[in-house]
Structure 1
Amino acid sequence: MIEIRKANNEDQSEILKIYNETTLHLLKRKIKQWDYPWDAENIQKEIKKNEAYVVLLNRTLVGAFCISPIKKLSTITIDPEGVYLSKIAILPKFQGKNLGSEVVQFACSFARQQNLALYLDCWAGNEKLKEFYSDNSLEYIGDFPEEDYFISIFKHQ
């Protein structure tokens, strides 16, 4: 059984493990989605702001993500009334079980209930993730510069 809920302080160490393990898995595949290691203090801040969520499968914490108010994404200004879905991480051994789609659908429903647009992004070189987003009814907006690389931005209205 899949459950998605807001993260709490007791989840912090598990969330940190999930992000670090997922990031190492991506780096081994030469996907530069995130920096390693993750900062526990940033995760704590997201939990305090009620922006962090966890994914449980049969009561086991297997994933995490954030939904936050949007101000600016990359060098383009996006609808300030939107929300930003970020940091979707599913432990590698639980990937391929439709959990990522559950997260995207949860976030789309969250945004729809509040009458907001939902945005998300990924490293422009991550073709598999870009295909996943498109397959989950997200509209590709374009590629935009971000520091020393490009990000692909997607939207759900």
Structure 2
Amino acid sequence: MEIRLAKLKDLEQVVFILNEATLELQQKGIHQWEYPWDKNKIQNQIKNNYSYVLLKHNKIIGTFCINDINYINDLTVDEESKYLSQIAILPKFQGRNVGSAITDFTCSFVKGLNQTLYLDCWAGNEKLKEFYLRNGLEYIGDFPEEDYFISVFKYSCISSSK
């Protein structure tokens, strides 16, 4: 598998993957994402170098974003932190360690920057919460969103010399 920054030519495939993953989540009763995705929002993420794609045999099978963050809802985060969001994998590739490849890549990325990584998910998604814990992320707590709660996780690799 290969991970790289998304390019504008990837826009249609990134939106397709996000829409497919959203429909799959909604079928499971998880309504964290709105459907359909806003193509302009995704285009801006690509232009700002926040959007990444995961390829298998030169085909895009997943996408995610990494951007700077100062807070999640009312939770103030460590200085110089990154936020991992919009992790979406085509349903037929889920359960094949693709998510682990994304979290491994992102944790290595923030470690190289000597920063902290945060991410969240719908608090009711027990399977995903267990996945994050198994992949070395620390559970911070549950926090209110508009009409549900999110569980926040953190990966810290800040050295004490900073």
Residue 13 of structure 1 aligns with which residue? 12
Per the normalisation by structure 2, the TM-score is 0.95
Residue in 1 that maps onto 2:107: 108
Query: Which runs of structure 1 show a deviation greater than 3 angstroms over 4 or more consecutive aligned residues?
Result: none
| Root mean square deviation, CA, Å | 0.7
State whether structure 2 residue 149 is matched by structure 1 residue 154: no
Mapped partners of 1:154, 1:84: distance in 2? 10
Measure, in 1, the Cα distance between the counterparts of 2:98 and 2:6. 17
8 Å Cα contact 1:46/1:52 also seen in 2: yes
Q: Secondary structure at the match of 1:79?
A: strand
CA shift digits 1:29-85 (9 cap, x unpaired): 101221111000000110011010000011110000000001221221112311000
| Identical amino acids, percent of aligned pairs | 56
Aligned length: 156
Please state if 1:98 is matched with 2:67: no
3-state SS in 1 of match to 2:80: coil
> Which residue of the partner structure matches residue 118 of structure 1?
117
**Unaligned ranges ≥5, structure 2:** 157-162
Cα distance in 2 between the residues matched to 1:10 and 1:145: 36
Amino acid at match of 2:53: V
Query: What is the one-letter code of the residue matched to 1:51?
Result: Y
> CA separation in 2, counterparts of 1:32 and 1:111?
29
Equivalent position of 1:55 in the other structure: 54
Alignment match, 1:22: 21
Corresponding position of 1:71? 70
Structure 1 residue runs without a partner (length 5+): none
TM, length-normalised to structure 1: 0.97
Residues 75 and 146, structure 1, Cα contact 8 Å, conserved in 2:
no
After TM superposition, give the deviation of residue 131 of structure 1 in Å: 0.6
**Bigger share in strand:** 2
